[in-house]
């Protein structure tokens, strides 16, 4: 059985206290790795290594040199593409096609995209008048923020980690990554890539472990960390924000969502069914941008419910390597307990279970995995807990509506504000709805489609700040002004 160690100062190192925990496969429950648990000493070593890197070669590199290295990182990831696919499949249990076509290619692309952004970002300059008539010139420069703590989720671990690493490293920062305890493999594998292409020791560090009382808490509270970026649930974000207040450190958060999907009667019906199916059930519903609330205009409501039901009941369970498989397990038994508790609560609150609602029948070799059925409900009021609270599982509640004003009010009636998806062939309506929905991103007749140069983030309890293109640079750099008297 393999052991997964920390990656600190360019080396793989065992945990200082020699403590390990088991990483289990979500597919069949078997132990697939022993993972070192980071404590204070490990975090101290990683932060110190990052600070040394900022003060030595890495801090002196030109933008052109950093860009060249990040291109090399992307190339090496693609050269070892199959290794990353296998590592992420083992950790998450999700189907091969999701890894091959979405998560791993996007992870590699993040390094190239942000290298290009930093290489081409403009600066501003202003000529100003002075009393003596000679004037002065003001111009802005960007400098790295320093040591950045990158706290990662487990649902799309490589993609979401590199979405932060790309701009952080392109801007000249050093990082300490805390992967989820559920998905440590690709963060560790990336350490091999960093060494291979010549990223200096200490620029990229990984400390494995848990949150409270473990690597996550020690990292976010560490006085040597200059900024913290986190993707995950809102409650964890709140705890990190409290830790960041000590020392007035910057934070960037992409947090929870209870996203609405809106289907008008004039929509391309088949495209809307396929789109809602994908947004509700891709990655077994473990997507922050996923759709857990669906509102369908009344004339097509019954037809839509039955069509989505038929689509859901065609999913195929199996190991991620099986090309016929299009549906994976939840990440863990602990998370399955949470999701199943909502399945039970929906029935208690009076839901009609259209399909699913439990654990599927599986062959013996998969019986110990964290599997649940994809589930659809109808008939609940907006006050029901499964309509209000983020479940983060393969489920959605469908409700009819009768007009634009009603559905906008329903979509906005949430403490979250991450995303929505709208299905209509009426372009004027699409623009009206997009302007009125209080979310960070609205998709029209699509989902999970975005130019990576555009701003991404949530409103309300769904996050702080924006990521993507030049918008990421606002977090990963400090802007300074230089004023020259002429």
Task: Give the residue numbers marked as catalytic.
Answer: 254, 288
Place of tokens 């559920």: 182
Residue 64 main-chain phi, psi, to 5 deg: -60, -40
Burial of residue 203 (CB within 10 Å: 0-12, 13-18, 19+) is buried
Burial of residue 434 (CB within 10 Å: 0-12, 13-18, 19+) is middle
Q: Give the residues across from 31 on adjacent strands.
A: 24
Q: In what order do the strands lie in the sheet with 6-8?
A: 11-13, 6-8, 204-206, 174-178, 147-151, 227-231, 250-254, 463-464
Gyration radius (Cα) of the chain, Å: 24
Structure tokens at 474: 């606002």
DSSP state of 327: B
Q: Give the residues across from 231 on adjacent strands.
A: 254
Q: What's the gap between Cα 299 and its chain centre? A: 36
Alpha-carbon distance of 277 to 394, in angstroms, equals 10
DSSP state of 366: G
The CA distances from residue 333 to 90, 182, 311, 372, 386, in Å, are 15, 11, 26, 10, 20
**Are 375 and 340 spatial neighbours (Cβ–Cβ below 8 Å)?**
no
Sign of the Cα pseudo-torsion (115, 113, 233, 103, in order): negative
Instruction: List helix spans (H) across 359-444.
Output: 385-388, 404-412, 427-436
């Amino acid at each position: 059985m393999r052991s997964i160690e920390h990656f600190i100062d360019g080396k793989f190192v065992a945990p200082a206290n020699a403590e390990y925990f088991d990483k289990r496969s979500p597919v069949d429950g078997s132990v697939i790795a022993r993972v070192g648990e980071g404590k204070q000493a490990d975090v101290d070593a990683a932060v110190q290594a990052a600070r040394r890197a900022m003060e030595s070669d890495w801090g002196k590199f030109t933008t052109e040199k950093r860009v060249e290295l990040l291109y090399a990182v992307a190339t090496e990831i693609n050269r070892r593409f199959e290794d990353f696919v296998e590592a992420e499949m083992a950790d998450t249990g999700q189907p091969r096609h999701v890894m091959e076509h979405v998560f791993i290619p996007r992870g590699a692309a993040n390094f190239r995209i942000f290298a290009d952004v930093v290489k081409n970002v403009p600066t501003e300059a202003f000529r100003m008048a002075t009393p003596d008539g000679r004037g002065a010139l003001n111009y802005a420069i960007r400098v790295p923020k320093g040591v950045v703590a990158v706290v990662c989720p487990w649902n799309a671990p490589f993609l979401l980690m590199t979405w932060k690493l790309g701009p952080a490293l392109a801007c000249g920062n050093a990082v300490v990554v805390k992967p989820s305890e559920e998905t440590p493999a690709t963060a560790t594998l990336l350490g091999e890539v960093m060494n291979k292409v010549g990223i200096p020791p200490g620029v990229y560090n990984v400390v494995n472990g848990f949150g409270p009382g473990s690597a996550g808490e020690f990292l976010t509270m560490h006085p040597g960390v200059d900024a913290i970026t986190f993707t995950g649930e809102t409650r964890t974000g709140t705890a990190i924000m409290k830790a960041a207040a000590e020392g007035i450190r910057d934070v960037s958060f992409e947090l929870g969502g209870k996203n609405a999907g809106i289907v008008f009667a004039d929509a391309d019906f088949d495209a809307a069914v396929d789109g809602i199916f994908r947004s509700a059930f891709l990655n077994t519903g473990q997507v922050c941008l996923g759709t857990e609330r669906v509102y369908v205009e009344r004339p097509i409501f019954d037809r839509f419910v039955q069509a989505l039901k038929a689509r859901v009941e065609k999913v195929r369970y199996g190991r991620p390597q099986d090309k016929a498989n299009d549906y994976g397990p939840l990440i863990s038994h602990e998370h399955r307990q949470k999701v199943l508790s909502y399945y039970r609560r929906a029935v208690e609150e009076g839901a009609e279970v259209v399909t699913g609602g439990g654990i599927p029948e599986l062959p013996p070799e998969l019986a110990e995995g964290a599997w649940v059925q994809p589930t659809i409900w109808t008939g609940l009021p907006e006050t029901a807990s499964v309509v209000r609270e983020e479940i983060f599982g393969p489920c959605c509640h469908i409700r009819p509506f009768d007009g634009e004003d009603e559905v906008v009010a329903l979509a906005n009636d949430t403490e979250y504000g991450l995303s929505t998806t709208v299905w209509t062939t009426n372009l004027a309506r699409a623009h009206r709805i997009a302007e009125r929905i209080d979310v960070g991103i609205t998709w029209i007749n699509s989902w999970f489609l975005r130019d990576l140069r555009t701003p991404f983030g949530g409103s309300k309890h769904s996050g702080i700040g924006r990521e993507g293109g030049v918008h990421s640079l606002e977090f990963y750099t400090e802007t300074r002004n230089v004023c020259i008297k002429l």
